[in-house]
Structure 1
Amino acid sequence: MNAQIWVLGGTGRSGRTIAAQLARLGLKAVLVGRDANRLHTAAQSSGSATLLVPSLAAAAAEIRQQRPAVVVNTVGPFTTTAPEVVIDGCRAAGSHYIDLANDVAALSAVYEMHDAATQAGHTLVTGAGFGVTATESVVAKLCEGRPVPLRVRVDMVPSIAMEEGIAGEALIGTLLGSLDGRRITDGRLAPARIFSDAMRLTLPDGSQVTTASMPSGELLAAHRASAARHVLSATSEAPSSPLIRAMMPALSTLMRWERLRSFTTRHLARVRVKAKARPREHSWGHALVTWTDGETREGWLRLGDAQEFTGAVPAEIARRLLAGEGRPGAFTPAALFGPTLAESCGAAYLLPRRGRR
């Protein structure tokens, strides 16, 4: 096995950000992609090497042959690219695997490969982006040394500077994968109305946002970090329009049809996004934890641009895996390295409130 860190989808925004963060850590990435010109341009800014492949299947074949130490997958939709293609290649090569997935189905698929990864002696890390890492880290921090709580609510409040370009299948796949309403009820994944449970949050800087339920990968990560009987995940990115919220149950049902979902993902992925400054100075991960005796603890994780954090997290995880600091199996970031990982990536905890309700 060689000591290289491969970044699949290296020409995309996430791939380029991860490569830049690896360079900051003194590590050189190998950017893997299908477009030679875009690979060359992306590699110049971070001093990365490149590997031109015609398809993801070809990339998996190269992983088997060249056996890089760590593979970072930024290519969505992750329910398709992770277990069926890339992770199989990593298992055969003994390579560690990291992805940016943030939907229930994708995280569940990786979790199901825990035993196989343990037997193979390699590490799988899913959810290595802003949403999962920010919220599960706050939950882990609040629950340190505490009994199992009764109830947990997590809220992600991203602030991202948008660059002009196409939306991409990773983003669209994650969004569509979050339309099927879910929450943890009595310790089990259960149906729930999407974009319900709206809450007006006052952020530590005094500004306010409204969040509403959306069952992204944070739901599973928060449940595993706390073992709480009831867990809800929410986001400030939930639409505020009553009409759109009313349409969501019907749209969720339609998106269960695999052909329609694949068609929609491919076409929405081509939509062009306009450049836009980030809406606030900080991004936030938030958690509210309640115990059976009525005690509540509320905490925040403060960071800058959520996209930059999404680059820093997999880069730091790759550095640690390269240094032999991981362990075999399937994990989310804080489950593997604890809540201090987020601080290593530039975030800070604010844990101001404690009381009874």
Structure 2
Amino acid sequence: MSEVMIYGAAGYTGRLCAEEFVRVGLQPILCGRQEAVRAVAERLGLKSAVFDLNDPGETERRLKGVRLLLNLSGQFLTTQKLLIEACLATGAHYVDLAGEVEDTSHAFTFDNQARRANIMIMPGAGFNVAPSDIVAGLAKKKLPDANELVIALATDGGVS
């Protein structure tokens, strides 16, 4: 069994991550709520599973043997809680791309449980969070009297 699972692998970011994982030699299990995840997995020669998060027992069963869960399934306030609880039960580390303050702050409410379970919970690992925070910090150092900051991002592939 793979040690890495991508939940939300049928979405734009999920497909890109799955392709990159394969490019560097990793074989993640691609998962999500939509049957489309099977086509992505088949194209990349990976295992897949389609399951809804509303059944905690099923989610935990799917996470058996997984060391790292990458949650790319939007509406993070919903998916995050359910997947973090499954990670706590199974000992899998958790990473997501949540970029909103409420989503990221919510993940911190699991800190004590994560420490007891000896797992890492890392919300906000997405591109939009870290680079923009770094740019904002650098701008504040260079322009301490500024009172407004506008950050624009350009991509080759568009946005999801």
TM band (smaller chain): 0.7 to 0.9
- 2:11 is matched with which residue? 12
Displacement of 1:21 in angstroms is 1.3
5 Å-filtered alignment, 1:301-316, equals none
1:133 counterpart letter in structure 2? A
- 2:42 is matched with which residue? 44
2:101 counterpart letter in structure 1? V
5 Å-filtered alignment, 1:240-279, equals 278=158
5 Å-filtered alignment, 1:172-187, equals none
The question of 1:82 aligning with 2:85 is answered no
Gaps of 5+ in 1: 163-277, 279-305, 308-357
Helix, strand or coil for the counterpart of 2:6? strand
Helix, strand or coil for the counterpart of 2:94? strand
Deviations along 1:291-310, whole A, 9 cap, x unmatched?
Answer: xxxxxxxxxxxxxxx77xxx
- 2:109 is matched with which residue? 112
- 2:128 is matched with which residue? 131
Distance 1:98 1:152 in 2: 33
- 1:61 is matched with which residue? 57
Displacement of 1:106 in angstroms is 0.3
Helix, strand or coil for the counterpart of 1:157? coil
- 1:159 is matched with which residue? 154
Structure with bigger strand share is 1
Displacement of 1:43 in angstroms is 1.2
1:77 counterpart letter in structure 2? Q
- 1:102 is matched with which residue? 99
1:26 counterpart letter in structure 2? G
Helix, strand or coil for the counterpart of 2:10? coil
TM-score under structure 2 length normalisation = 0.80
Contact 1:39 1:50 (8 Å CA) reproduced: yes
Distance 2:98 2:110 in 1: 15
- Between the aligned residues of both structures, percent identity stands at 27
Contact 1:23 1:47 (8 Å CA) reproduced: no
TM-score under structure 1 length normalisation = 0.39
| CA spacing shift, 1:104–1:11, aligned 2, 3 Å | same
Deviations along 1:96-155, whole A, 9 cap, x unmatched?
Answer: 011111111101101222222112110111112121121234467x5xxx9xx9999765
Larger radius of gyration between Structure 1 and Structure 2: 1
Deviations along 1:272-325, whole A, 9 cap, x unmatched?
Answer: xxxxxx5xxxxxxxxxxxxxxxxxxxxxxxxxxx77xxxxxxxxxxxxxxxxxx
Q: Tell me which of the two structures has the higher relative contact order, counting C-alpha pairs closer than 8 angstroms and 6 or more residues apart.
A: 1
- 2:69 is matched with which residue? 71
- 1:235 is matched with which residue? none
Distance 1:17 1:46 in 2: 11
- 1:25 is matched with which residue? 24
Helix, strand or coil for the counterpart of 1:27? coil
| CA spacing shift, 1:138–1:80, aligned 2, 3 Å | same
RMSD: 2.9
